[in-house]
A and B are shown apart, each in its own frame.
Chain A
Amino acid sequence: MAVKQRFDHRHILSLEDLSEADICLILQTAESLKEISERSIKKVPTLRGKTVVNFFFEPSTRTRLSFEIAAKRMSADTFNISASTSSIQKGETLIDTARNIMAMNPDVIIVRHSCAGVPGILADNIDASVINAGDGIHEHPSQCLLDMMTVRQKKGKIDGLTVAIVGDISHSRVAHSNIIGFSKMGAKVRVCGPSTMIPIGIEEMGAKVYGSLEEAIDGVDVVMALRIQKERQKDPLIPSFREYSRFFGITKRNIGAAKPDALIMHPGPMNRGVELDPDLADGPRSVILDQVTNGVAVRMALLYLILGGD
């Protein structure tokens, strides 16, 4: 389809808000900006004078670094604020904190928070653009966009592919964004994991649920493994990593069911040997590090499009 030229979103809150044309424009822009990171002098003046604030309420290494590098490569000034949600909760409210930051007149606020919906609250209450860098178990749009960019690079398309996402679907914002995003771009999305990790109504978001790993990855073009945690907030989800990896770990043996050229993806950080066999993670079909590289390009594209760079 033709790539539309105008991007009319001020905020990136959810994949739900983006049309197929928006996504194409983001990916196309990311492709063209990717080259900047390959130069010896990795900097362009495009966003000079713009202020980007990384507002992270949850620990994050790669997402924050990725956004920071993306902003700096385009010459924006970046600032990082880390806060634990609990200390915020006791003192200043979220909206007060945001208004204080807003009083310093930043252009973009990139927010990660343990509560779903926080990027929307900020967008409603401040004048800056807001990018959701992960909100609770809701969404992680930039991760989905970099995953789609990676798949499109390797496969030349997204439409018509079949993607299997394996792991804790209930508590994965990456899975939620990817189900919406890949479905929107014409891919078929399968999800698979222990039944304690499959949420009610996931089919309504566009995913097909598989109980057995072998069936889930049978003939697929992409296998995406998610990071596994044994329990979340005292909620027992699986008895042990050992049992999980026996039934749901992606291994050299069971990957045979997927297409021979199937991509292996992981949003990181990885539990080697639990959800993914280390040999596969480091093998020729793995695109895990391409995902990280593309992450910078996608985030550059988001900042560029949001700040109306022309």
Chain B
Amino acid sequence: MTGKAPMTSFQKMRGGDASLDAPLLFKNGRIIDPANRLDLNGDLFIENGRISWVRPSDKESSTVPDDTRTIDLDGRWILPGFIDMHVHLREPGEEYKETIESGSKSAAAGGFCGVACMPNTIPVNDCEAVTSFIKARARNGYCRVYPVGAISKGGKGEALAEFGEMRTAGAVAVSDDGRPVSDSQLMRRALEYCACHNLLLISHSEDLNLSRNGVMNEGPLSTKMGLRGIPRSAEEVMVYRDLSLAEFAKRPVHIAHVSTRESVSLIRRAKAGGCPVTAETAPHYFTLTEDAVEGYNTRAKMSPPLRTGDDVEAIREGLRDGTIDAIATDHAPHSDFEKDVEFEFAANGIIGLETAIPLALALVRDEIFNVTRLVELLSLNPARILGVEGGSLSPGSRADVTVIDPDTEFVYTKEEVVSKSRNSPFLGSELKGRAVLTIVGGRITFCGEEFQR
């Protein structure tokens, strides 16, 4: 860690008998809250699980209760709690990769107060029972968990799943992530049917006929490496289909993990025309190119695949100009034995919860966008798109807060990884900036190296 003194440990913060639910006073932080157009150096007070007040440092502090824990943040950033609207927690069914407990712990370590988990579990989250199971398990977690239900029964792309019942059990959205809906009529009906249950539809836009057999971006590098390619068109034709359906049905669609320049352009044009679309991308799509695959590196194999520098540039521009609304990690844990195999047989996906903040901060340092935009992308917009509470530090709102130290430097090593899986292309990378405190409903769930439920 550079510059500042290390964050106080949990034990010290507990301050003797102070309970974990004691009021919290953060002093001398940089408070950035786009929802309230705030960016100031100040203090923030949390009581009874809610934000009590925010005020500039130079003002006389009001009195706080005696049992208040006071933490001097020494200029670190106080932000509305981050929400990752796209993760895979693997439970039920693949607990050897991740569980709701381990995944939510990884989220807390990465500064996330909430995650939306995709339905491609075993069994698929396509009914009330599975959604309820996930919600029940999440009570034992380190962050809020928002289940995303499947669009179709069994994720098979044939018949609509029971949206209403899943909504009742706590689902916030439906998605075909991991198992794209090829049937356009089913997609249309799903979009329309979302309306009566107030659910968001998150589309994994991929034409399986075009991507079939492909294992990396199609281009000169795939030719040179002798790997079958996935053309950008596999994503773009389905992005266009989904935009067209959303426009026609006048129903919102959210495009997951945008990876190509043309997808960004299509979404930009649709937004300009009034189409109710939102979109996300993942840190790897604005950080890495297909070159990361060289040497048959399965840690860089994912779906959609890493693209080219030109695509990375377009995605950064999309994040800057508002075409892309959110940064979501697509945290996709896989065990070593599913990655240490032939490239063509290796599982798709990488873990991402613990590296999102430093990778996004790199764009702030590169002046692609400012800190306010960063908070919109990681907190305010995901909350609004999912329709969940959060995204602001307004007095009275639920105290979900992320505190980050933008200057701390660290090497992301295998030993550092909190997730149950270690499939990250960023292992061994020197990263800058990370979460130091994650507060969910007024309780600290992560502080430095310590966790608390």
Interface residues in chain A, defined as those with a beta carbon under 8 Å from any beta carbon in chain B: 85, 89, 93-95, 113-118, 120-121, 135-139, 170, 173, 176, 199-202, 204-205, 233-235
> Which 8 pairs, one residue from A and one from B, show the smallest C-beta to C-beta distance?
A201-B220, A138-B226, A117-B296, A116-B226, A115-B342, A199-B223, A115-B344, A137-B226
- CA–CA, A235 to B231, complex, Å? 14
Across the interface, which residues of A come within 8 angstroms of B341, CB to CB? 89, 93-95
Tell me if B212 and A233 are in contact (CB < 8 A).
yes
Closest to A203 in B: B220
Across the interface, which residues of A come within 8 angstroms of B40, CB to CB? none
Across the interface, which residues of A come within 8 angstroms of B295, CB to CB? 120
State whether the Cβ of B266 lies closer than 8 Å to any Cβ in chain A. Answer: no
Q: Given that A115-B342, A117-B296, A117-B343 are known contacts, is A201 also in contact with B219, CB under 8 Å in the complex?
A: yes
State whether the Cβ of B227 lies closer than 8 Å to any Cβ in chain A. Answer: yes
Tell me if A117 and B223 are in contact (CB < 8 A).
no
- Pick the residue among B213, B223, B337, B343 that contacts A202 (CB under 8 A): B223
- Pick the residue among A89, A93, A116, A204 that contacts B227 (CB under 8 A): A116
Tell me if B226 and A135 are in contact (CB < 8 A).
yes
State whether the Cβ of B228 lies closer than 8 Å to any Cβ in chain A. Answer: yes
- CA–CA, A248 to B219, complex, Å? 25
**Can you pick out 28 interface pairs between chain A and chain B where the beta carbons lie within 8 Å of each other?**
A93-B337, A93-B340, A94-B341, A95-B341, A114-B344, A115-B342, A115-B343, A115-B345, A116-B225, A116-B227, A116-B296, A116-B343, A118-B342, A120-B295, A120-B296, A135-B226, A136-B344, A137-B227, A137-B228, A138-B226, A139-B226, A199-B223, A200-B218, A200-B223, A204-B220, A233-B212, A233-B213, A235-B212
- CA–CA, A137 to B224, complex, Å? 10
Distance in Å: Cβ of A231 to nearest Cβ of chain B: 12
- CA–CA, A180 to B273, complex, Å? 49
Interface residues of B in 219-246 (CB under 8 A from A): 219-229
Across the interface, which residues of B come within 8 angstroms of A89, CB to CB? 341, 345
- Pick the residue among A114, A200, A202, A234 that contacts B212 (CB under 8 A): A234
Closest to B344 in A: A115
Which residue, A176, A200, A204, A233, has most C-beta atoms of chain B within 10 A?
A200
Across the interface, which residues of B come within 8 angstroms of A117, CB to CB? 225-227, 296, 342-343
- CA–CA, A152 to B386, complex, Å? 67
- CA–CA, A176 to B222, complex, Å? 12
Tell me if B343 and A200 are in contact (CB < 8 A).
no
Across the interface, which residues of A come within 8 angstroms of B226, CB to CB? 116-117, 135-139, 173, 176
Across the interface, which residues of A come within 8 angstroms of B218, CB to CB? 200
Interface residues of B in 83-113 (CB under 8 A from A): none
Closest to B226 in A: A138
Distance in Å: Cβ of B36 to nearest Cβ of chain A: 49
Across the interface, which residues of B come within 8 angstroms of A199, CB to CB? 222-223
Which residue, A116, A121, A235, has most C-beta atoms of chain B within 10 A?
A116
Interface residues in chain B, defined as those with a beta carbon under 8 Å from any beta carbon in chain A: 212-213, 218-229, 295-296, 337, 340-345
Q: Given that A93-B341, A115-B343, A116-B343 are known contacts, is A121 also in contact with B296, CB under 8 Å in the complex?
A: yes
Closest to B340 in A: A95
Across the interface, which residues of B come within 8 angstroms of A202, CB to CB? 223
Tell me if B220 and A200 are in contact (CB < 8 A).
yes
Distance in Å: Cβ of A130 to nearest Cβ of chain B: 14
Tell me if A201 and B223 are in contact (CB < 8 A).
yes
Across the interface, which residues of B come within 8 angstroms of A114, CB to CB? 344
Closest to A170 in B: B223
Across the interface, which residues of A come within 8 angstroms of B213, CB to CB? 233, 235
- CA–CA, A135 to B225, complex, Å? 10
Distance in Å: Cβ of A260 to nearest Cβ of chain B: 34
- Pick the residue among B219, B337, B344 that contacts A200 (CB under 8 A): B219
A93-B340, A120-B296, A204-B220 are known contacts; what are 12 more A-B pairs with Cβ within 8 Å? Answer: A93-B341, A115-B343, A115-B344, A116-B225, A118-B342, A136-B227, A138-B225, A173-B226, A200-B229, A201-B224, A202-B223, A233-B213
Closest to B297 in A: A117
Closest to A118 in B: B342
- CA–CA, A227 to B443, complex, Å? 67
Distance in Å: Cβ of B351 to nearest Cβ of chain A: 20
Tell me if B224 and A204 are in contact (CB < 8 A).
yes
Across the interface, which residues of B come within 8 angstroms of A116, CB to CB? 225-227, 296, 343-344
- CA–CA, A214 to B449, complex, Å? 69
- CA–CA, A306 to B218, complex, Å? 35
Across the interface, which residues of B come within 8 angstroms of A94, CB to CB? 341-342
- CA–CA, A204 to B219, complex, Å? 11
Across the interface, which residues of B come within 8 angstroms of A118, CB to CB? 342
Which residue, B212, B229, B296, has most C-beta atoms of chain A within 10 A?
B296
Q: Given that A93-B337, A200-B229, A235-B213 are known contacts, is A205 also in contact with B342, CB under 8 Å in the complex?
A: no
Across the interface, which residues of B come within 8 angstroms of A95, CB to CB? 340-341
- CA–CA, A176 to B226, complex, Å? 8
Closest to A138 in B: B226
Tell me if A205 and B223 are in contact (CB < 8 A).
yes
Across the interface, which residues of A come within 8 angstroms of B221, CB to CB? 201
- CA–CA, A234 to B228, complex, Å? 13
Which residue, A95, A120, A136, A233, has most C-beta atoms of chain B within 10 A?
A136
- CA–CA, A294 to B64, complex, Å? 89
- CA–CA, A116 to B337, complex, Å? 18
Closest to A89 in B: B345
Tell me if B223 and A121 are in contact (CB < 8 A).
no
Across the interface, which residues of A come within 8 angstroms of B296, CB to CB? 116-117, 120-121
Closest to A205 in B: B224
- CA–CA, A116 to B214, complex, Å? 12
Across the interface, which residues of B come within 8 angstroms of A201, CB to CB? 219-221, 223-224
- CA–CA, A302 to B378, complex, Å? 56
Distance in Å: Cβ of A184 to nearest Cβ of chain B: 14
- CA–CA, A99 to B295, complex, Å? 20
- CA–CA, A5 to B380, complex, Å? 67
Tell me if A113 and B342 are in contact (CB < 8 A).
yes
Distance in Å: Cβ of A115 to nearest Cβ of chain B: 4
Across the interface, which residues of B come within 8 angstroms of A138, CB to CB? 225-227
Distance in Å: Cβ of A192 to nearest Cβ of chain B: 16
- CA–CA, A156 to B383, complex, Å? 72
- CA–CA, A138 to B343, complex, Å? 12
- CA–CA, A229 to B177, complex, Å? 34
- CA–CA, A252 to B14, complex, Å? 90
- CA–CA, A89 to B347, complex, Å? 12
Distance in Å: Cβ of B224 to nearest Cβ of chain A: 6
- CA–CA, A94 to B342, complex, Å? 7
Distance in Å: Cβ of A179 to nearest Cβ of chain B: 10
Closest to B343 in A: A117
- CA–CA, A121 to B222, complex, Å? 18
- CA–CA, A102 to B224, complex, Å? 30
